[in-house]
Amino acid sequence: MRILVVEDEEKLAGILLRSLRGEGYAVDAASTVAEGLEMAQATHYDLVILDLQLPDGSGTRLLTSLRGHHQDAPVLVLTARADLDTKVENFDAGADDYLTKPFAFAELLVRVRALLRRGPVAKSSTLKVGDVELDRLTRQVRRDGQRVDLSPKEYSLLEYLMLNPGRVLSRSMIVERVWDHSFEGLTNIVDVYVRQLRRKIDDGSEPKLIRTIRGVGYTIDTEGGA
């Protein structure tokens, strides 16, 4: 996994590079908007860690440029600014997570691992499998044009399945992504939520989209549920 750190504070940048490399990641560093954009366009990164206050402009400008150039790597924003307006502005610009300075490296590492598991952001705000459509901006779900009301966890589960159509996702993978935990104690709850989701998505509709792969996990596709 390769990470780009865009941070102009030399001491913090050095700590991030040494610590992340110590965790086994390949890490490159940039200290300006221009340098960060150039490196991101030249190299594929699995994650970008981005400071907002850079000497040649705002990190938000770099974030907007990355998304404008279809750079879909997850972006973790670092900043001393904790006000709501700044957070909203950067999430709207395409940030995936937000960490306020000062922070503990252990917390940053948890965020990094979660974003790397998540992978690239979807290029479109709308996901579609069969006649099910999920709008990631409005968080609305429709099947055959009819709105389906989901709880937040049901929505997150469906979104994860639809981001990986045809891919079998294990219970542990789903727990790590939807519940942000990495232990086995929660895997049974996945079965409960899949049953609830099936009742809302598949009952009364054909084909059945959510499939159980026995002994492995779950997938969503148009091959027919089981």
Please state the rounded mean pLDDT for residues 197-218: 93
Residue 225 domain-assigned?
A: no
**Angle at CA 60, nearest 5°, toward 90 and 127?**
50
Number of compact structural domains in the chain = 2
Residues 130 and 96 in one domain: no
Residues 58 and 151 in one domain: no
- Scanning the structure block, which residue is given the tokens 């579609």? 128
Residues 179 and 99 in one domain: no
Residues 79 and 18 in one domain: yes
Residues 89 and 191 in one domain: no
Helices within 94-136 (DSSP H only)? 105-118
Residue 157 domain-assigned?
A: yes
Please state the rounded mean pLDDT for residues 49-73: 87
* CATH number for the domain that contains residue 8: 3.40.50.2300
Residue 31 domain-assigned?
A: yes
Using one digit for the tens of pLDDT, what is the confidence trace for 11-54?
A: 999 999 999 998 888 899 999 999 999 998 888 888 999 999 89
| Nearest of 79, 81, 85 to residue 49 by alpha carbon | 79
Give the tokens for residue 69. 């150039």
Give the structural domain span for 61: 2-118
Contact 59, 88 (CB under 8 A): no
Using one digit for the tens of pLDDT, what is the confidence trace for 118-151?
A: 766 555 578 899 999 998 878 899 999 999 999 8
Residue 130 domain-assigned?
A: yes
Residues 10 and 38 in one domain: yes
| Nearest of 111, 78, 77 to residue 94 by alpha carbon | 77
Residues 199 and 152 in one domain: yes
